[in-house]
Amino acid sequence: MGLSWQQGPLAAHSVGRFLVPDPLPERLLYAEPLRRRLRVRFGGDWIADSEDVVLLHEPGRYPVAYFPEPAIAPDALRATDHVTNHPQLGPTRWLTVQHGDTHAERAAWRFADLPAYAEPLRGRTAFAWHPMDAFYEEDERILGHAADSYHRIDIRRTSRHLVVRDGERIVADTVRPHVLYESGFAPRWYVPRSDVEAGALAPVDRQTFCPYKGLASYYDIGDRARAAWSYEEAWPEVHLVSNFVSFEPDKIDVNLDGCGLTLEPGQSVVAHGIDRDFDEVFTSTR
């Protein structure tokens, strides 16, 4: 979740509300300086590199990075005849990204006639995420989409009593769960593997990707499809839940201190597919 995505404050289905006398417009756009060095790699080389990136937050979309023209390699962009219309920002001209023998059609765009209120985006170009080889902040590869500075995860250890049941069968019973708080979402409870009944989890052939936590693996429990998941090798930033198991309260009975959990507003997640070259390690560039 971020400022405008999923349940964020500027999203269409925000879990909170602004305390103002008049309703806000249905769609609010927000642009701000990223304040991080961001680089784009394409065709095996750097084609954009800037510390002057503007991040656009738009309802229903992940944040998008816009680069100033001087930060983009000469001849990296070629104009096309394709023009679309953004409902608030006007005509959008699509560009082919090219480097050497490699090219990607309509893989970048810029706004051709911005209204005065959108001045921070003037003269800037955005690159589509998947056609590029990779995006980096400094020498660290960023996966999935541009990092959202409003997305935060906190993990807390607790001694509360959590029990998971499949009918009369106890699937998990622990007094040492971890609770994961993620911006805009209801809490998620993670159970150590040793407190889950052996053989209760049947792995399924499906994974999703979270840019903030890593690859999620899913499990069936009896006839309850994908009722549990685990970040078996979570990112270092969230290592406290690595290989722990969390359970979906609308698919299986989850009780916390004797009270049944439900799928609260703000708990639904739009899953990512797996990013390209996910297994490669990008710790430095040469």
> Do 37 and 106 belong together in one domain?
yes
Q: Which pLDDT score, from 0 to 100, does residue 285 have?
A: 26
pLDDT in tens, 143-192: 888 888 899 999 999 999 999 999 999 999 999 999 999 987 889 999 99
Say if residue 34 is in the same domain as residue 138: yes
Report yes or no on 255 lying in a domain: yes
**Statement to judge: residues 36 and 129 lie in one domain:** yes
Establish if 9 belongs to a structural domain: no
Q: pLDDT of 37-74, one tens digit each?
A: 999 999 999 999 999 999 999 998 889 999 999 999 99
Q: What is the 3-state secondary structure (H, E, C) of the chain?
A: CCCCCCCCCCCCCCCCCCCCCCCCCCCCCEEEECCCCEEEEECCEEEEEECCCEEEECCCCCCEEEEEHHHECCCCEEEEEEEEEECCCEEEEEEEEEECCEEEEEEEEEECCCCHHHHHHCCEEEECCCCCCEEEECCEEECCCCCCCCCCEEEEECCCCEEEEECCEEEEEECCCEEEEECCCCCEEEECHHHECCCCCEEEEEEEEECCCEEEEEEEECCEEEEEEECCCCCHHHHHHCCCEEECCCCCEEEECCEECCCCCCCCCCCECCCCCCCCCCCCCC
Together in a domain, 198 and 106? no
Judge if 161 and 230 occupy the same domain: yes
- In the chain, the number of structural domains is 2
| Residue 266 pLDDT class (50, 70, 90 cuts) | low
Residues 157, 92, single domain; the answer is: no
pLDDT greater than 80 at residue 6:
no
Which pLDDT tens digit goes with each residue over 102-155?
999 999 999 999 999 999 999 999 999 999 999 999 999 998 888 888 999 999
pLDDT at res. 270: 59
Percent of the chain with pLDDT over 70: 92
The CATH number given to whatever domain includes residue 166 is 2.170.150.40
pLDDT at 231 over 90: yes
Task: Note the pLDDT of residue 271.
Answer: 58
Domain coverage including residue 239: 153-260
pLDDT band of residue 273 (cuts 50, 70, 90) is low
131/213 same-domain check? no
Question: Are residue 100 and residue 169 in the same domain, yes or no?
Answer: no
Dump pLDDT digits (tens) for 185-226. 889 999 999 999 999 999 999 899 888 999 999 999 999 999
Question: Does residue 109 lie within any of the structural domains?
Answer: yes
Decide if pLDDT at 268 tops 70: no
93 and 191 inside one domain: no
